[in-house]
Structures are given as C-alpha cells and as structure tokens.
Amino acid sequence: MGLMPYHLEKGHFLLLLEDTLNEGIEVVVDNDAAITFPGLARRYSMLEYMRGVVARPCDLHNGESEVGSSLMWPGWMSDSDVSFGAFRAVAEEWFGYRIRADGTLDTKPHPNKPTGMWDGYQGNVERIMANVFIRSIEVSLGIDHDAPIPTAAPPRSWPLYFFFKCQQPFFEGWVTWQCHSINRRAAGQVTVIFATPGHNHPVSDHPIPIDNNNDHKDDLVPTLRNDGEFQVEPVSAPAADIIGEPHQGVWVITHRDHKRLNVFDTSVPSSYLEWGPPLLPIIAPENFCDVVTVQPAARSGGINEVKPRYVAP
Amino acid sequence: MNDKERRFDLEVAHTAVQLDTEGVLGAFLDGQLSADRSIGAATWRNDKSEFFAVRWRFAGRHERAIPGFGHTVIPPTHNEVTVSGLTLVENMAPGQVVDDIDKVLRSETIVFHRFIDWLAVFAQIGVLHLGRPMSIDDIRFVPPDRGNSRQLGYNDLQQG
C-alpha cells in the first residue's frame, strides 16, 4: 500500500487498480467499433461482486458481515508490492478490521476508537469504498445505478482514474466524469477522488523535500521523497511513459514552504471585558511570491515512471 | 469607611468574573454562568496585588455571530456549547472599597487572567473537526486513564 500520501496521491496501488479496470481500453479509444478489452470483464466482475458487498446486512453495533468482504473480490491484482501486506493494510488501517489468526476478519467496529489509522474519525470505510467502485464503474460504462450488467456491449467504455487526498475531515469518495464526445464510446473519463482523514503523521509544510543527508527522504516527513520521478519545475507532460505506453502525470503547484501564524497565548491578562474568542492559527506562505511546481515521486504520491501493469491473482 | 462599605474580596471577585464572562460570552451564547465556589477562598498576594481564583462554567446555545476564530464571522450554529475556565482576578489596590463595582472594574486596579478551554469550544461549535462523525449510536465519552483524581467534566455530564 505504500506510505501515507503527501499531496494528491496516486501511487502504485491505485495505478494497478486503474490498469485492472482499464487494461486494453486503448483498442476502444482507437476503434469505436471495438467492444471488449480485458479491463471490461474485470469491471463487470467487480461491479457484480461489489453490488453483493453492499447488499449484505450491516448492523449498527456489529458492523459489516465477516464474510463476503470487498477484500475478497477474486480479481484483485497482485504483485510484489500489492500482496498480503496490502490486504492487511486495507483491512486494518483503512477499514479498521482485525485479522484473526485463522485469516478471518473481525469487522465489529470499536465504539470508542477511531476507524483504522484515521485520526479522530469513525466510519464505514469499506461500505463507502464499495459504493464508490459500484458508482464509478456504472458511470464509466454508461449504465444506470443497479441496472442489469450488459450481456453485450455497454453503452460506453470510459477510462477510470483514481486518486486520494488525505487530511480531510471525513472519508469520502468523489466520482466525477467528463464526456469528451458523445460520438465515440471511449471519449470520456471518470476520475475518482478518495478524500481521507489524516493519520498520525504530519503533513509536510513544503512540497520539495528537505534532504540534508541525501537519502532521498525528507528529514522531517519520510513520506516525502525526492527519488524516482521527482522533479521541480517540470517542463514536459509526455503522453507516453519511457517504454512508450500511454501515461499520465501529477503536478502539484503551491508555495515552496508554509508557516503558522496567530498561535498566541490566550491567558495574557487584560482588563474588564477586553477579551474574546481567540483567533485560530492560519497557515501562510513563508514567501508570498514564491510558487513552485513539483512532480512528486511515486512513493510520495506521484506517478510511476513506467506504468505498472495488472498482475493476475 | 463605615460598616456598610465593602472591600474587594472573593465575593466581589465572583461578581466581577460573572460580569466579565457573561459580558463577553453572552454576546454570542444564550446561557448562564455557574461558578465553582469550592476553591478560591484563600487569597494570594505578592508585593503589590492580591489574587482571587474563580473556576467557572458557562453553558449556553450559540445563537449569535462570533466575531473571532480567525478572520471570518462565525454565524450562529445553534449548538449547545459549554465553556469552562478559571479566572484569576488580580486586585492591584488591596483593601480598596467597592461602592460601584462597574467603576472599580473599569479602573486600572483590576486585571483578569483568564485560562479558558478554547479547544473544547472550537470542537463544540465545529470550527475544528475534533469530533467523530458517525452513525454508531453507542459512542460514549470514556475519559483516559489518568488516575482516580479526575472530576467530571462537561463531556461526562452531557453523555452520562
């Protein structure tokens, strides 16, 4: 699963998920008469499975059923980076479940603890994500919610893209879409953004790592790295990766560094009635005129230099 | 000075804190102040002042705009809000007579040192996300284990 995101996060897992659902879609993009591609079969499979996930009863006190979890979809991709470690991370850190010694899931929510690693938040992350998968696949294929899965060609086949952004108040999935042309089956796009709460790691005030010992890790926030695909002020946005496959990118444009203001002592003595609610601290740039564009490394939320490919389980 | 003249003492300090607290918090909260009279009986002094401690709690509903919390006005949320704090009232003229309390409080002889749990206020109004948005109905406030000396706070009182 990798490390917690710094900026808008893509990372290896979501790139593999995209390839799971998009693999081969270039055929439809290039040829409007083309129908099938490997990712289409997996979309059908995932859609059917996730509809079953959300159809399971959910108990207010006991949470989700222990069987039939979204984690059990047989089509989940698997490679050296996405294996049992990822399964454990999603189950424990995202959904807040416990994995028993026999491998079964204890899904009962703890009433007095945050869900998983999400600071100060409780929620049914699994159900949110399952609904996001359902909705995003339905939108990508142009089929109404809960409509039967097509037996022939779907009305359309748009690519699906996934991101997530941490340090939000709630866990949410945003399913957005854009049709580029109504005349072609694949001339559109679905972009999904998972908004997640933060976990117990700070978010860096600066997009460019401060790496005084040259280990490619920020000295304060190890999830922020300057290796691999990291660039400051990138120039080109290539359509293909270095081996010629269609590709994508993420750039972050922000101030070079930030600071916090208005953190002051509210107990300073004052006269009668001369006080009030304190100002909340605000975040401000260190230099108001200094804006940088950064291409984050894949391990801190960017895009792999070479697109990872779906690996069958 | 005759027998009817009153000097600045703990009772006057309680009145002062009530006026000072209700005058500010009452501008945006509809509620009332209750004071903990179990502390503050002793008078602390240094070479120029005497101090009175008043622990208080103001419970009310957020019904009017708050012109603070940053640079925007927070409109009424209608949330129940409890503010708790401790005010040290510093009297820099020990022994002064209090014939008109408003005049005394507005003189330069009285200073307030206010220690207020603003973080809890932020959370209750929703300015900061410190709560747990959830659909599970059995969430209770369980105080962290910090020994047996902890007294009940407003969270305990609200949630039983």
The tens digit of pLDDT for each residue in A9-47 reads 777 788 889 999 999 999 999 999 999 999 999 999 999
ipTM of the complex: 0.78
Question: Above 90 in pLDDT, residue A144?
Answer: yes
pLDDT greater than 80 at residue A50: yes
Cβ-defined contact of B23 to A267 (cutoff 8 Å): no
A21-46 in b/e form (b: 16+ CB < 10 A) is: bbbbbeebbeeeebeebbbbebbbbb
For chain A, give the mean pLDDT. 88
Q: Phi and psi of A83, rounded to 5°?
A: -140, -145
pLDDT of residue B111: 95
List phi, psi (to 5°) of A45.
-65, -45
Burial A60-87 (b: 16+ CB within 10 A, else e): eeebbeeeebbbebebbbeeeebeeebb
| B71 reaches A (C-beta below 8 A) | yes
* Beta-carbon separation of A122 and B114 below 8 A: no
CB contact (8 A) between residue B110 and residue A109? no
Tell me which chain B residue has its CA closest to the CA of residue A275. B24
Q: Which residue of A has its CA nearest to B65?
A: A277
Q: Return the pLDDT at A141.
A: 98
Q: Which residue has the higher pLDDT, A1 or A298?
A: A298
Sheet containing strand A172-179, strands side by side:
A160-165, A188-195, A172-179
| Helices and strands in chain B: count of H runs, count of E runs | 4, 5
Per-residue pLDDT of chain B (160 residues; tens, 9 = 90+): 555 689 999 999 999 999 999 999 999 999 999 998 887 777 788 889 999 999 999 999 999 998 765 556 788 989 999 999 999 999 999 999 999 999 999 999 999 999 999 888 888 887 775 444 443 444 445 555 556 665 665 555 544 4
pLDDT (mean) for A43-63: 95
- A277·B134 Cβ contact <8 A: no
Average pLDDT estimate for A192-217:
86
A270–B24 CB contact, under 8 Å: no
Amino acid at A223: T
Q: How far is B140 from chain A (nearest CA, A)?
A: 7
Q: What is the pLDDT of residue A85?
A: 73
**Number of CB pairs < 8 Å for A and B?**
88
For range A211-229, the mean pLDDT: 88
The pLDDT of residue A193 is above 90: yes
pLDDT band at A7 (very low <50, low <70, confident <90, very high): low
**pLDDT bucket at A216, cuts 50 / 70 / 90:** very high
What's this model's pTM, rounded to 2 decimal places?
0.75
Residue B67 is predicted with a pLDDT of 74
pLDDT of residue A5: 43
Please answer yes or no on whether B137 and A267 come within 8 Å at the CB atom: no
Chain A residues within 8 A of B123 when measuring between CB atoms: none
Q: Which of B106, B135, B142 is the closest to A272 by Cβ?
A: B106
Q: Please report the pLDDT score of residue A222 as a whole number.
A: 80
Output the pLDDT for position B134. 40
